Each structure stands twice: as structure tokens, then as C-alpha cells.
Structure 1
């Protein structure tokens, strides 16, 4: 029997208690890898020709696969943290010396699905004329926003069934990339709506982060990722055990029966 998102969020807060620094540092390290890839793509393939744009997208795609290996290592760190095991910032490199090909295969499939979902948006941005009149430009912006929403919806449909893939790969060194994708899709049946309601519950905090010059994201993103980690642990049945939950040597972080009454 799965718990509520309030439970997962409370569990995440308790897991992060006293560990915010390492969790933030890991998140920043992973974000830095993705940022470097974006900058290199622009610098190596400047211009707006179809050729340069295509090469830039190919480079970004390849670099994104490397970033996924780092991100999966971050999942490994969060899982150790949530389970009360020993963890460190070095965990983000874990998958590089534990059969990274499995992550690359799964990441390739997920990235392809993500790219397909974004085709409507990219088509409007790069292949249509904005027009010269105000009316034409307004219509172009409206069409661009509509395609952005469409791409977002397609992304949800295509990729959310596979959100557990990279947690599965960290938990089972023998599981292959394609097997992890299939297992994630099976586990997410009946849980996709729960996952998105959980993610949507962070929207108010994301909006508030704008008023902190996005500094609030330093706390919010690890909180979101840890909540997702708790969601995975729940789907895997870890909270059905009496002893489930991060613990210290003396006492558990909290009384889990109280989770459903806390935000």
C-alpha cells in the first residue's frame, strides 16, 4: 500500500536534515555538467544555419548522456542518504565504474523520446517565420507557446513511465538498461498520476524561488529530488517494512504515522 505525497515530502525533509550541504553540492555538480555541455555546444557550433544547429543538437545529445551518468550517481547518493547508509559527494561518480553502459543505453532511449516530444516546439522556433507585422509576431508567439505546451504534454506521456529507470540501475548492478526501462514502465502503471501530483505540489515553491533570484532552488531542488527518491522507495515496498526510514543510532528521525498529517 503506497503512502501519500505528504508522507514522501516529510520523509525527504527528515532524510535531508543535517545533510543539506552535501545534497546541494551534488545537485550543483550535476547541474554544472549540463551547463558546461550547453556552453560548449554554443561555442563549438555557432551560427543559425541548419548545419550548425544540427551539429549543436548532436553534441548536446551526446553530452547529455554523460550528464545522465552523473545524475544517476546523484540518485545513488540520495538513496544511500534516505536509507541511512554511508554516503558522500563521490557517490555521483559511482556509475562510471559500475557498468555505465547500462545507464547510457537507458539514457539514449529516454533522450530520444525527449527529443521526439520537443519536435513541435523546435519546428516552430527554428523553421517558421516570425513575420514582419505586429499581428504576425503575436500569432507566432501564440503558436510557439501552444507548441511548447504540446511538447511538454508529449514529454510527460513519453518519459514519465521511465522515471524510476535510473534508480533501478543503481539498486541492481546486474540489471540492463532495457530491462530497467521495462521494469520502470511496469512499476509506474497506476502511479503516473500520483507522481505528477507530487511534482505539481512543488510549483508554488518554484514560483516563490523567482523572488529569491532563484537562490531558493539550492534548497528546493534537493528537496524535490529526495521526494522523488522517497516515491521510488515506496513503490519498491520499502515503507511496508516496520523498520523503513532513515535512522540514527539512537532513534528514528520521526514517527511515520504522523506523516499524513504534515505537509
Structure 2
């Protein structure tokens, strides 16, 4: 599959669901950023880390929500809180991802980008593998991203124009763009995961 196909699938999956999905993303962003809204993160390191951990947990939930939509399964807005069922692995995963990406960028920008691409699927992996450890999620992401990093990079770049345009709508455009982007990424994950399984089987 190519970039256009992933995007087309996402738009088809959103038909008749836009209102519900947009509301889910609004709630996700509100909860994920509640500490940023309520506190000065720069002056309180504990609140800053708590905010980061909450963001990771909510991202697992949103990944779970998006995967259910792409698989044609029943979904509800409350699914975005699914990450709390895996509080500990989600917390550890978020810490490890943050440390890994930071270290990569400290060394050089390119290694940071490459490592970011290698572990880009960790939240989807944890979302559909309850009980899997954080380290195993990272290993699994690295494994399925072998030979797929450039394709994923191109897929992300394909949204740059839309991101710029959305910025001129005072943020309103992001209400439509973020669901579109995240379902596209979920479709990509489903595809490379299946391809990886076929490769192992053969």
C-alpha cells in the first residue's frame, strides 16, 4: 500500500463518524493537556513529569480508539481512556521513549529522527497487546519498522501542507486534521504489522 491508499482508507473510515471522532479528539487533548492548562510546568518539575506521563497514557488510549475504528470494531469515546488499564507499562514506555528520543537528538539530529521512526509504533503495539512490557513494545516497533522507516517518514511529510493550512484557521482545522492523520497512521501500522507477520511465516 502507498500513502494515498492509507489516507483514502482513513477518509472512508471517518464517513458518518466525524462528529463522534472529533469530540473524542477534543476530549483527548483536553485531558492530555490538563496540567499544562492548570499549572506552570516550567516552575514545577513534578507537575511537568506528571503531565508527560498522562500524555503517554492518553496516547495509548487514543491509539486503541483509532485501531478499533480502522478494524471496523465498535468504538466509544470512553475508549480513549483505555491506557489507564495499562498504567504502569504506559508510564514506563513514555519515559523510555522520551529518554531515547532526547538522547538521539543530543548526539545528532539525524540519529534522533531515525530512532524516532524506529519506535514510532510503540503506542499502537501496547494498545492492542495488553500486558506487554514497555521494552518488548520498543523491540516490536523496531522489528516491524525495518525497511519501513522511509515510507513512514514520507507519510508524515505528506501532511505538512495540511498542517500549515490548519494553522491559518486559528486551530479549527486541526479538529478535522488530527483524526484524519491518526487514522491514517493506524492504517499504516495495521499494514506493516500484517506484512511483518507474513514475512516471518514465509
TM range (shorter): 0.7 to 0.9
Q: Which runs of 4+ in 1 moved over 3 A?
A: 114-120
Counterpart in the other structure of 1:114: 101
Rg comparison, structure with higher value: 1
Q: How many residues align?
A: 197
Counterpart in the other structure of 1:231: 188
Counterpart in the other structure of 2:175: 218
CA distance in 1, matches of 2:106, 2:32: 21
CA distance in 1, matches of 2:168, 2:39: 30
Contact 1:24 1:219 in 2 (8 A): yes
Sort the Cα spacing of 1:59 and 1:43 in 2 relative to 1 into closer, same or farther, 3 A. closer
Counterpart in the other structure of 1:186: 143
Query: What is the root-mean-square deviation in Å for CA atoms of aligned residues?
Result: 2.4
Counterpart in the other structure of 2:87: 100
TM-score (norm 2): 0.87
Q: Say whether 1:59 aligns with 2:57.
A: no
SS of residue paired to 1:236: helix
Deviations, residues 193-252 of structure 1 (Å, cap 9, x unaligned):
1001001001111111122222111101110000000000101118x99xxxxxxxxxxx
Sort the Cα spacing of 1:117 and 1:210 in 2 relative to 1 into closer, same or farther, 3 A. same
1:60 Cα deviation after fit: 1.7
Counterpart in the other structure of 1:204: 161
1:83 Cα deviation after fit: 0.9
CA distance in 1, matches of 2:116, 2:90: 15
1:34 Cα deviation after fit: 3.5
CA distance in 2, matches of 1:43, 1:178: 28
**Which of the pair has the greater relative contact order for Cα pairs under 8 Å at 6+ separation?**
1
Q: 1:89 aligns with which of 62, 77, 95?
A: 77
Bigger share in helix:
2
CA distance in 2, matches of 1:116, 1:30: 28
SS of residue paired to 2:114: helix
User: Structure 1: 5+ residue runs without aligned partners?
Assistant: 46-54, 121-149, 242-263
Counterpart in the other structure of 1:76: 64
Counterpart in the other structure of 2:133: 176
Contact 1:30 1:67 in 2 (8 A): no
Counterpart in the other structure of 2:2: 4
1:118 Cα deviation after fit: 6.0
Q: Say whether 1:24 aligns with 2:22.
A: yes
Deviations, residues 52-75 of structure 1 (Å, cap 9, x unaligned):
xxx43x532332111211111111
User: Structure 2: 5+ residue runs without aligned partners?
Assistant: none
CA distance in 2, matches of 1:15, 1:198: 18
CA distance in 2, matches of 1:113, 1:6: 31
Contact 2:63 2:186 in 1 (8 A): yes
